[in-house]
Chains A and B, each alone.
Chain A
Amino acid sequence: MADIVKIVEEKPIPKQPIIITGLPDVGLVGVIAAYEIISYLKMQEIARVESELFPPMVVLHEGLPYAPVRFFGHGNLVTLVSEIALPSLAVAPISEAIVKWAREKKAELVISIGGVAEQDRQNIKNLDVFGAASDRTSLQILEDHNIKILEEGYLVGAYALILKDCVEKKIPSISLLAQSFYNYPDPEAAAAVLTELNKLLGTNIDTSDLIKRGEEIRLKARDVMKRTEVEMEEMRKTQEYDVPPLYV
């Protein structure tokens, strides 16, 4: 049977890449941050994701059609970004395909960047960024960089499955999640994530433009946010607010 999700490589993929995933989720934090990485590092498109589970569409840029979910590369850094809300039914297959591809490419590390919804977000000026990891070694990387650990709680959605699959396939993986609005695009949260990512990777991605253009980004990202909210409801995303009953 053909794969439900295919990753089509268009250019050589770097060896042992660090793969950053920016998928639509709360506050579109991962997507906004991924765009900034791609733009700042002038990354080039290297692969696209195809799936019959996606809506039948292309994204037009300067009159040319592109797949809405693509990988971009620069050096050994590879960034995945989606320009559409991922249908909830596609989340599991796409997560599985990303991790499978990461294993094929012998990825050094998979980093999922995104948000964790905070009810009091509007009153928080300095946003915290929390990390979770697939294994003790990756957890230590977070601690070495003074990144707060998301000690207890639930993760729901693509990043939950990527982390779980990375455990199974023994791929080092980290999730970096900034406090964010649930259903409003949150460029400040994206900037907070990038600040921590800079520490982890030794990069110097400038976040000042993200803050400066914050209102414009919020305006532009409304439509994808609205559609993402519908998909998050399908996935019962608000379970992330719940408290786990047991610790074993």
Chain B
Amino acid sequence: MEEMSKEMYRMLETRSIERLNWHVASATLEPLTYVSVSAKEVIITADLPCSDMKSVNIKPLKKNIIEIKAKTKRIISFDEFGITHRRGKFSNFYAQIAVPIPVNMAKMKMRCKNGIVEVHIPRKS
């Protein structure tokens, strides 16, 4: 599943325009994310509605990319939104997020609140 998610992301990343939020083959949702830079740190947030906050897993992939994964509290399907012409069931969130400036990944901290994960990474001095 993890490999599939990564492959999906690599594939979608190459299409910078009209990237889909829902990926049926890997049962994965791409969360909305936001990156901001302050004087001392980079703050990255991701909106993970209906996710199990205990399952949130965040780790650095490269010196400028972090990965966010989470499982949903239940299986989410297109049916519940009244979408009858497409089949799809989703059980995880997955995102890779580029960090725009050099940071100290080893000192990354995270917290979750109300279905939103917030990651703080100190800037490299």
| A interface, CB within 8 angstroms of B | 119, 122-123, 181-185, 214-216, 218-220, 222-223, 225-226, 229
Apart from A119-B36, A229-B32, what 14 extra A-B contacts exist at CB < 8 Å? Answer: A122-B45, A184-B34, A184-B45, A184-B47, A184-B116, A214-B49, A215-B49, A216-B50, A218-B49, A219-B49, A219-B76, A222-B21, A222-B47, A226-B21
- State the majority secondary structure of interface residues on A: helix
Q: Which of B21, B29, B47, B113 is the most central at the interface, judged by chain A CB atoms within 10 Å of its CB?
A: B47
Contacts of B76 in A (CB 8 A): 219
| A182 engages B34 (CB within 8 Å) | yes
Give the dominant DSSP class at B's interface. Answer: strand
- Does B114 count as interface, using CB distance less than 8 angstroms? yes
16 A-B contacts (beta carbon < 8 Å): A122-B113, A122-B116, A123-B113, A181-B47, A182-B34, A183-B34, A184-B116, A214-B49, A218-B50, A219-B50, A219-B76, A222-B31, A222-B32, A222-B49, A223-B21, A226-B21
The answer to the question of B115 belonging to the interface, with a C-beta cut-off of 8 Å to chain A, is: yes
Q: If the complex has contacts A216-B50, A218-B47, A219-B76, are A226 and B34 also in contact, measured as CB distance less than 8 A? A: no
Residues of chain B in range 15-58 having any CB-CB distance to chain A below 8 Å = 21, 29, 31-32, 34, 36, 45, 47, 49-50
